[in-house]
Amino acid sequence: MISCSFLFGFVQLGMASGLETLCGQAYGAKQYHMLGIYLQRSWLVLVITTTLLTPVFIFASPILKALGQDESIAEVAGIIGLWFIPVIYSFIISFSCQMFLQAQSKNMVITYLAALSLSIHVFLSWLLTVKFKFGITGAMVSTSLAYWIPNVGQIIFVLSGGCPETWKGFSSLAFKDLWPIIKLSFSSGAMLCLELWYNTILVLLTGNLKNAEVAIDALSICLNINGWEMMISLGFLAAASVRVSNELGSGNFKAAKFSIVVTVLTSLAIGLVLFVFFLFFRGRLAYIFTKNQDVASEVAYLSPLLAFSILLNSVQPVLSGVAIGAGNQSSVAYVNIGSYYIIGIPIGVVLGYVIKLQVVGVWIGMIFGTFVQTIILVILTLRTDWENQVSAARRRVNRWFVEAEPDTNSRSTA
């Protein structure tokens, strides 16, 4: 259920990435006043979307049972799902403010708040789960606080003069012309969710295999490790998106192309190092998470697949960030549908269930889908006419300037 909860967090992250395109290109075009308006519009869209998703968490247990999940796992997931409702609402402020600040390269405030939140989370997790043995309740209370603390800090920073050029106060323009941000948010959400739901489907498919408890434990460890590496890749995704959107907004397509080359090669170099690292340590990393030798042996068995997944994940998220910066999320969404759901998952089902390779077969199919997606994104990026992308960005910026000049009715919050 934790994977599913963060999965819906990535729904909001995907939708917030539409804000990344709009704010990034507007900032590059020096239309600074529009960033605050787009932030408020994003809040409206995300609040509505999150509220519509809430029933999934309320009825998580029966939904998972209907999907064939183990009954004991589904019951625990139902409890966690209820505790995660405050967390998914925290994502609204977290992701949107991050996109707003990243578009202006104000990253240090995000870093400081994240470091503070992590420190508090580690302490509270130990205090509530190890010291006082509150179990799931303690872990979820700590998690909720860890997500809301940086949100409070970001809101205070934005509203109290941290962004004087881009935040002019709450504006009635936030309720006007919502369609551009709705359209871009949904295409962004589709792009990232189709990609991130892919790993969750891997867990669901594994839950129906033999010896599912050991397999899911081992797979969860692998996916946690993969998630750590994915944070690095998401950092490069954000960097690629910000640089590309800023440069396209300012009309500098050569700088946009250069930033793509630098971010892809840097991320790939890190991926290669981690690829070798995880091949070398294999199952020994499992003992960070468990003392069960059966689970550790299964992790060692899955480690080569984990290493290849990490290598592929060092490239394709960066190319997704390039698409976000250019506003081409809808094209990548179609690529994800084809490579993941038409190619990857069917191959995984055949290898895992028909040929009886179990979790290894399912994962091989998923890796093949990711490989196909990466190749297609590389080809699309190489064939993109970046001068035309500059023209498209200028058309968006010109439309924004006509439809929403600085709002004289804004109320300052400083």
Question: DSSP letter string over 94-158?
Answer: HHHHHHHHHTTT--HHHHHHHHHHHHHHHHHHIIIIIIS--HHHHHHHHHHHHHHHHHHHHHHHI
pTM value > 0.85: no
Nearest C-alpha neighbor of 366 from the set 308, 295, 303, 286: 308
Longest dimension (CA), the chain: 67
Tens of pLDDT, residues 164-191:
999 998 888 888 877 777 877 777 777 7
Tens of pLDDT, residues 196-227:
777 777 777 766 666 666 677 777 788 788 87
Q: Where are the domains of the chain?
A: 2-106+176-403
**Alpha-carbon gap, residue 220 to 8, rounded angstroms:** 17
Token pair 């068995």 in the structure block, residue: 301
134-150 average pLDDT score? 87
Which run of H or of E encompasses 218?
helix 212-250
281-308 average pLDDT score? 82
Least confidently predicted of 30-34, 102-106, 295-299:
295-299
pLDDT at residue 266, as a whole number: 93
Residue 4 has pLDDT above 90, yes or no: no
pLDDT at residue 414, as a whole number: 35
User: In 10 A of CB 130, how many CB atoms?
Assistant: 10
